[in-house]
């Protein structure tokens, strides 16, 4: 004899397993698309490729080439000799609205 509590636990376990498997498969598809991304060189032909693409955007593209920092390169604290640069920093502030019902911003 199975009790209602055991059925509830079994059902919730199956529901969570299904949800996590769905999320795993969705992320696995994204990872596969990133791994299959075409590799392009940073050269004079890149602006022409971008402007010819649909929506002037190249989704999931790996760029290879040498970049120069605008000021100073970022150095890693954990790996000696590893340096990097930041291409673009975007800061987006969301407008705060007072919610009088919840009495919070």
- Residue range 77-101, pLDDT digits in tens: 998 888 888 777 666 766 777 778 8
pLDDT, greater one: 100 or 23: 23
φ/ψ (deg, to 5) at 62: -95, 120
How far, in Å, CA of 31 to CA of 14, rounded? 26
> Is residue 42 a contact partner of residue 64, using CB atoms and an 8 Å limit?
yes
For the full predicted model, state whether its pTM sits above 0.85.
no
What is the predicted pLDDT for the residue at 26? 96
Structure tokens at 46: 């890149």
The total number of residues shown for the chain amounts to 105
77-86 long-range contacts, CB within 8 A, separation 24+ = none
Q: How far is CA 92 from CA 62, 78, 89, 95, in A?
A: 25, 29, 10, 10
């Amino acid at each position: 004899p199975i009790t209602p509590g055991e059925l509830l636990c079994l059902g919730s376990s199956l529901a969570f397993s299904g949800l996590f498997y769905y999320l795993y498969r969705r992320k696995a598809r994204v990872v596969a698309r990133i791994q299959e991304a075409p590799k392009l060189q940073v050269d004079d032909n890149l602006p022409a490729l971008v402007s010819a693409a649909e929506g002037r955007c190249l989704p999931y593209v790996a760029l290879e080439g040498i970049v120069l920092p605008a000021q100073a390169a970022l150095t890693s604290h954990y790996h000696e000799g590893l340096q990097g640069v930041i291409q673009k920093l975007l800061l987006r502030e969301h407008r705060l609205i007072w919610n009088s019902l919840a009495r919070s911003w």
